Structure 1
C-alpha cells in the first residue's frame, strides 16, 4: 500500500493547495460530518472508486474502510455486487487490490 503520509507529502510538494484542501476540507470536514458514519462513508467511497475505476486511490480507501469497521466479507460482497452495476473489469481489478489490502493486514 502507498504510505498515506508519503502520498500527502508528495501532494504537498506538487500541489500545496490541493494537499491543504484534502487535509482540512475533505478529511477534516466532509469525512467528519454527522450525517453518515465513517463506516458508511467508506462504503460509499469504495463503491465510487470501484465504479469509476479509480484504482490508484482504492488501496488507501480499502484500508480506511477496514479501519472504519467494514469487514473483509462485506468488502468482498460489495465488489461482487458492483460487478453487475459498474462492470466486470472494474470488479475484477478491485478484487485484486482487495486481496492485496487484506494480505497486508
Structure 2
C-alpha cells in the first residue's frame, strides 16, 4: 500500500519543461572585431588598429574617416569605413561624443 501511495504522489507532481537557451547568430570573434573597430575611432592610427584586429590575409584598410559637428552644442559625430579584400566586407563604425559641461 505504501509503495502505491509513493507512486501516485510522483505521478501527481508536475514537471517543468526543460527550457533550452535561445539560439542566436552570436559570434565572439566578430563581436571582438566590432569592439576594436568602435575603439579605433577614438584614436589616430586607424589603419594600425585594423591590422591588429584582422588577420593579415584579409588585408583590411581604411576607406574614409569623417568627423562633423552633429548639433548646435558643438558635439561631434564621427564614422570610419574599413574594407577587407578577402571576404569583401565593409565595416562602418559610427561614434557620437556628447560633451557634458
Does TM-score exceed 0.5, indicating one fold?
Answer: no
Task: Give 1 or 2: higher helix fraction.
Answer: 1
Larger Rg: 2
User: What TM-score, normalized to structure 2?
Assistant: 0.29
User: What TM-score, normalized to structure 1?
Assistant: 0.28
